[in-house]
Structure 1
Amino acid sequence: MELGMVGLGRMGANMAQRLLRGGHRVAGFDPGEQARAAAAANGIEAAASLAELVAKLPAPRAVWLMVPAGKIVDDTLDQLLQLLAPGDTIVDGGNSNYKDTQRRAAMLAEHGIAYVDCGTSGGVWGLAEGYSLMIGGDEAAVERLRPLFATLAPSPDSGWGRVGPSGAGHFTKMVHNGIEYGMMQAYAEGFAILQHKAEFALDLPQVAEIWRDGSVVRSWLLDLTADALKKNPEMEGIAPWVADSGEGRWTVAEAIDLDVPAPVITLSLLQRLRSRDTDSYADKLISAMRNEFGGHAVKQS
């Protein structure tokens, strides 16, 4: 099958390479010249523009977007709308907000273009291990692209599936990422407790390796944690600052809208925000309050 890939960053380029290995033809476009050159060196037919990319594809065309969520998706769709024709399909494999996806799908449907949302998990390991794909959109459009999904997934019959109509794929991936926040926070807190118990001088890489086999907390995330601890058990040179992609925030907002209690995911998000406040005004004020009502000592900076 033939596909056009828009966005040749690490994730997009890796997905394109997995498709090439599966016998598909992939043409790609990226605004960055270096990204295009790297893609071409790996067998991807690089195009210098979206127009050139679309011209390389036979009808009905399939174009896969791997670009950051937000305005850039809308801008890319506006350009593609001038180039594609009824019967073509666009796949958004990024982390778009599902409400934006529903809006975009309705807009493109008016022009006869199918819009498939594909929540994609697997990160840098996806090229070798395959990607977990949570797909939303028209059933017929998804079925037409089955060969692509089957190639990208860990196996043709596992790790992927259509989960519902437009927006369902990105919604499912959003909650997936929220769960990921909670799991990461739990592992981090547990290992922090172990690390602070100085009298036992615990070997954290050893503990992680023990837990990887037979333990009820074993997981691929623990495998990656064990690898990170083995490389750098003291986390030297790493700042205590944790970014978020936005999907944790969306998950918490959705939980509130649906009246679903989600304390673990919510607190894990708040901890990420907390990590960025290196000069906390709130903490200083609490210290001042304790001094005011109880005469407690204030630690000077």
Structure 2
Amino acid sequence: MSSKKQTSTLVVVGLGEIGISIGSLLRRSGFKVIGFDIEEEARVRAQKKGLESSTSLKGAIQACEGSTPRIIWLALTSDVLDRVVEELRIMLTPGDIIIDGSNSFFKETVRRHDDLLIYGINYVDVGLTKHIKAGGGALFELSVGCDKRVFVMVEHVLQRLTSDGYVRVGETGSGHLVKMVQHAVEYGVTTALAEGVSILENYKDGLEVDVPSAITTFKTGGLISHRVLDWLAETYKTKGRLSKISLKHAKPETEMEIGYIIKEHPTKVLEAASFHRQKLHLDVSAITILVRAMQNQFSGRRTLHHIKESEGTWGSATDKD
């Protein structure tokens, strides 16, 4: 850790589910957090959570004058990133740091880093995985891509967002690359599990198969060991939960990245899983419902009600599946 004075004021741009979670964790850890979102409704939600918010991006940046370097956390959807980054480029000065916590394509992240490097502005990319804690709330696992020197400057921020799940995985772009591959693997794992459980369902009546108990044996008696098995068993045990699972499907921001993996690398299992992922909203089957149940558990949104409550607009980025 650096012996220099650490930045204690931070701006969060994008006050959706993820942005508010990031801001709240940092505020509780002693940071002064200034939030900004173009949507008034998002700013009001943030204020109800105890976060200070600005009605303009310029105002948010000005509120952290005196902090060196200024650190800006972006919790945005990827389609508005370039516009916001360009606005920030004009406002920031050499040495300031932008942390991109969006689901960006890693090649675009590298391009933004290279563009900002000319102006002396540091660009850090973070692949986020959100975990719901017992009793509510969230912590994150962070795959961080940046120069080693910059990592030291932002480490005190990253530490407050997780128990121990943050690591520098390489240079800028690598954080989003790792998250991209993680998403692809999760597609394969959840689809395979759903297919296996659906086979058990086919024999549930004739052999009186106890499906939740059978799922637990996957973890205790085999090579598969993941909390998704606990979630899947819990979903089964909760009466009526599967019938309430929303099959609402928006094209995830990571779909382009998964397409890149399939095109550039021989990954037959991931290709099949990606094909199934794209059919989720068309194929209403037991497998579809089970995959959606697992994905909802990842994000903490278990039913249609939870999904509606977490939706946002421009800056209201959520943890995309």
Change (3 A) 1:186 1:3: same
Instruction: Give the one of 267, 272, 292 matched to 2:272.
Output: 267
Distance 2:222 2:137 in 1: 26
Root-mean-square deviation (Å): 2.4
Distance 1:230 1:23 in 2: 40
Change (3 A) 1:248 1:225: farther
Per-residue CA deviations over 1:131-170 (Å, capped at 9, x if unaligned) read 1111112221121011111111223xxx111111111111
TM-score, structure 1 normalization: 0.83
Change (3 A) 1:11 1:236: same
The residue aligned with 2:147 is 138
The residue aligned with 1:75 is 83
Distance 1:191 1:49 in 2: 50
The residue aligned with 1:2 is 9
Change (3 A) 1:235 1:129: closer
Distance 2:27 2:246 in 1: 38
Instruction: Give the one of 149, 173, 177 matched to 1:171.
Output: 177
% identity of equivalent residues: 30
Amino acid in the other structure paired with 2:44: A
The residue aligned with 1:194 is 200
Distance 1:233 1:213 in 2: 26
Distance 1:111 1:99 in 2: 20
By how many angstroms is 1:245 displaced?
1.9
The residue aligned with 1:293 is none
Three-state SS of the structure 2 residue aligned to 1:200 is coil
Distance 2:219 2:275 in 1: 28
Instruction: Give the one of 18, 23, 35 matched to 1:11.
Output: 18
By how many angstroms is 1:252 displaced?
4.4
By how many angstroms is 1:49 displaced?
1.0
The residue aligned with 2:75 is 66
Q: Give 1:39-58 correspondences, 5 Å limit.
A: 39-57=46-64, 58=67
Distance 1:161 1:234 in 2: 36
Amino acid in the other structure paired with 1:201: E
The residue aligned with 1:96 is 104
Distance 1:243 1:181 in 2: 15
Alignment coverage as a number of residue pairs: 273
What are structure 1's unaligned runs of at least 5 residues?
A: 280-301
By how many angstroms is 1:227 displaced?
2.5
- Greater relative contact order, per chain length (Cα 8 Å cut-off, separation 6+): 2
Give the stretch that moved more between structures: 17-26 or 43-52: 17-26
- CA contact under 8 A between 1:118 and 1:136: conserved in structure 2? yes
Q: Give 1:250-265 correspondences, 5 Å limit.
A: 250-257=257-264, 260-265=265-270
Asked which structure has the greater CA Rg, the reply is 1
Q: Give 1:96-175 correspondences, 5 Å limit.
A: 96-122=104-130, 124-125=132-133, 128=137, 130-155=139-164, 159-175=165-181
Distance 1:27 1:214 in 2: 49
By how many angstroms is 1:43 displaced?
2.1
